[in-house]
Structure 1
Amino acid sequence: MTRAEDTTADESAPAYSVRAVERVCSILNLLQGAVDGVSLGEVATATELPKSSAFRYLWTLETHRYVERDPETGTYRLGLGFVGMQSRQLEMLRQRAHPWLEKLRDDLKETTNLGVLDGDAVIYLDIVESRRGVRLAARRGDRDPLHSTALGKAIAANLPESRVREILQRAGTPRLTPNTIDRLDDYFAELTRVRRLGYAMDNGENEIDGRCLAVPIPHTRIPAALSLSAPASRFPLQEVDRFAQALAAAAASITRPSGTPEGPDSPGE
Structure 2
Amino acid sequence: MTEDNQNGKGRTGGVQSIERAFGLLETMADAGGMMGLSQLAAASGLPLPTIHRLVRTLVDLGYLRQEPSRQYVLGPKLIRLGESSSHMLSVFARPHLARLVDELGESANMAMLDGDQIVYLAQVQSRHSMRMFTEVGRRVLPHCTAVGKAILAQYPESEVRDLLHRTGMPKHTDNTITTADAFTAQLRQAEKHGYATDEGEQELGVRCVAVAVPDAPSPLAISISGPAPRMTESLVDRAIPLLTQAAESLSKDLR
Compute the TM-score of the two structures, normalised by the length of structure 1: 0.72
Does residue 163 of the first structure (1) align with residue 189 of the second (2)? no
Tell me the equivalent position of 2:195.
199
Q: Quick one: structure 1 residues 150 and 30, their matched pair in 2 at CA, closer, same or farther if it must change by over 3 Å?
A: closer
Tell me the equivalent position of 2:211.
215
Q: Deviations over 1:58-108 (max 9, x none)?
A: 4233245431358x9998532256445544543332222110111111221
Tell me the equivalent position of 1:153.
149
Does residue 178 of the first structure (1) align with residue 174 of the second (2)? yes
Q: What is the identity, as a one-letter code, of the residue corresponding to 1:131? A: R
Q: Quick one: structure 1 residues 61 and 184, their matched pair in 2 at CA, closer, same or farther if it must change by over 3 Å?
A: same
**Which of 133, 136, 140 is matched with 1:140 structurally?**
136
RMSD: 3.3
Aligned length: 226
Structure number with the higher helix fraction is 2
Q: Deviations over 1:190-224 (max 9, x none)?
A: 00000111110001111111000100001213100
Who wins on radius of gyration, i.e. which is larger?
1
SS at match of 2:120: strand
SS at match of 1:206: coil
Does residue 60 of the first structure (1) align with residue 84 of the second (2)? no
Tell me the equivalent position of 1:104.
100
Q: What is the identity, as a one-letter code, of the residue corresponding to 1:62? A: V
**Which of 101, 124, 133 is matched with 1:128 structurally?**
124
| Structure 1 residue 255, shift from structure 2 partner | 1.4
Q: What is the identity, as a one-letter code, of the residue corresponding to 1:117? A: L
Percent of pairs with identical residues: 36
Compute the TM-score of the two structures, normalised by the length of structure 2: 0.76
Measure the CA separation in 2 of the matches of 1:251 and 1:30. 24
Q: Give unmatched runs, 5+ long, in structure 2.
A: 1-19, 42-48
Measure the CA separation in 2 of the matches of 1:30 and 1:249. 29
| Segment of structure 1 superposing worse, 194-203 or 163-172 | 163-172
Q: What is the identity, as a one-letter code, of the residue corresponding to 2:179? A: R
Measure the CA separation in 1 of the matches of 2:69 and 2:187. 45
Q: Give unmatched runs, 5+ long, in structure 1.
A: 1-19, 263-269
Measure the CA separation in 2 of the matches of 1:183 and 1:30. 26
